[in-house]
Amino acid sequence: MVQRLVILGSGESGIGAALLGKQKGYDVFVSDAGSIKPHYKQELIDNAVEFEEGSHSEEKILNADEVIKSPGIPEKNEMVKKIRAKEIPVISEIEFAYRFKGDSKIIAITGSNGKSTTTALTYHICKTGGIDCALVGNIGYSFAKQVAEDPKPLYVAEISSFQLDDIKTFRPDVAVLLNITEDHLDRYDYKFENYINSKFKIVENQTASDYFIYCEDDEVIMNKLKTITVHSNPLPFSMRNEVKTGAQIKQEQMMIRLQEDRITMSIYDFALKGKHNQYNTMAAGIAAATIGIRKEKIRDAVKTFSSLEHRMEPVATIRGVEFINDSKATNVNSTWYALESMDKPVVLIMGGTDKGNDYSLIKDLIGEKVKAIVCLGVENEKIHDAFRDKVKVIVDTKSASEAVIAAFQLAQKGDTVLLSPACASFDLFKNYEDRGQQFKHAVKDL
């Protein structure tokens, strides 16, 4: 009998799951309470996938054999409660994709901060080492879409806690846990322990043939490890301790040790600067070593990596204010991920062509992390309406240079000015690349 698969949410992960489900013979139905982006809608039409937008039809959803829930939808959502009450299994898109990965290997990377950078760097090392691999998860394609359209022998996946919440059998060959800091507690009943448990789900299905790479300098991780049993091979990284296997940085030298192999290089050769990126580089280096990439290739890749342009791209630090270009964040989810990674007070530049955005997704994060919003768009009413109770200062600008000057005036030493628009760019710019370039030029002109 054909299984009925209902997908809640029509973002990158939802559409990917729909395409894979259709390909594998499921009866697929996509439901989004908001609007579905035109290009995603076209993909659903082209693949003859039934969908609805603007509301959830209970009768069409509650007859599901299985539900895939977008990572952005919380458990307290009314429809999710009804699905749970009917005891319909709920899984995440990464769990669904995992079923169809075949013999492919997975390096899965999670953590409160640094996921995107570490995932992109790991992918870069694997590519430099000659491996045919794909960058998936919260960065690049959704895992399910990649499996459906262009399967690879290796997937390097950035995984959020929300994606881990609904796994059952998902088991990465290499799991990387960078750090855990208090985050998203609104989604975890305001209990830090619940969030910690969520992050640790990345190792729960691992076996003795797998690897677990983690930061030994992170107290939260180390305290949790005292209370649980992990079956995979531990590979810690540290700047404080000597490690027998794993990686350490001591006297400006990184050393990666795996069995008999040793890789050493100076931190001054790292393309990525900053202490947090030294941790990220150790994690990526170990991950690459576990899958057999030669040490000279790892060294080359670490030296040649450049941040993804327009994706959390550091531009400059001026009088103690850091400027970051995340122009590629053309939807609310992307801005959510950008804000999630911030650990300094933020002046946020956002706005543009609104595609029926639901700003409620980032309201809590904005309240927690953003001190001022600089709107960069023609129509800014919706941003004012959404955030006036969360942020004291919201100003309007009509060009990249005007936005940068306004943000710099609102920022203090130690703050970050983040361009992460949550909107398309077509009102004032040709595309998100043009918006990012103009932002970078305006920063350089300061």
183 confidence band (pLDDT: 50, 70, 90)? low
Residues 224 and 296 in one domain: yes
Starting at the edge strand found earlier in the chain, the sheet holding 66-69 runs 50-53, 27-32, 4-8, 66-69, 90-91
The residue segments making up the domain with residue 237 are 95-304
Residue finishing a domain among 91, 124, 141: 91
Residues 394 and 441 in one domain: yes
> What's residue 103's pLDDT?
97
Show Cβ contacts of residue 220 under 8 Å, excluding neighbours closer than 6 positions: 179, 180, 181, 196
Residues 129 and 59 in one domain: no
Residues 67 and 81 in one domain: yes
Residue 229: which CATH number?
A: 3.40.1190.10
What CA–CA distances, in Å, run from 121 to 102, 157, 298, 301, 344?
25, 11, 10, 8, 23
- Residue 435 backbone zone (phi > 0: left; psi -120 to 50: alpha; other: beta): alpha
Domain count, the chain: 3
Checking if the pLDDT of 299 tops 90, the result is yes
Q: What's the sign of the alpha-carbon dihedral 89, 94, 98, 101?
A: positive
Extended beta strands in 54-143, E state: 66-69, 90-91, 105-110, 133-137
Task: Give residue-wise pLDDT tens across range 357-409.
Answer: 789 889 999 999 999 999 999 989 999 999 999 999 999 999 999 999 999 99
pLDDT, mean of residues 352-359: 81
Residues 296 and 419 in one domain: no
pTM of the model: 0.75
Task: Give residue-wise pLDDT tens across range 70-120.
Answer: 998 999 999 999 999 999 999 999 999 999 999 999 999 999 878 888 999
Residues 198 and 265 in one domain: yes
Residue 368: which CATH number?
A: 3.90.190.20
Residues 262 and 332 in one domain: no
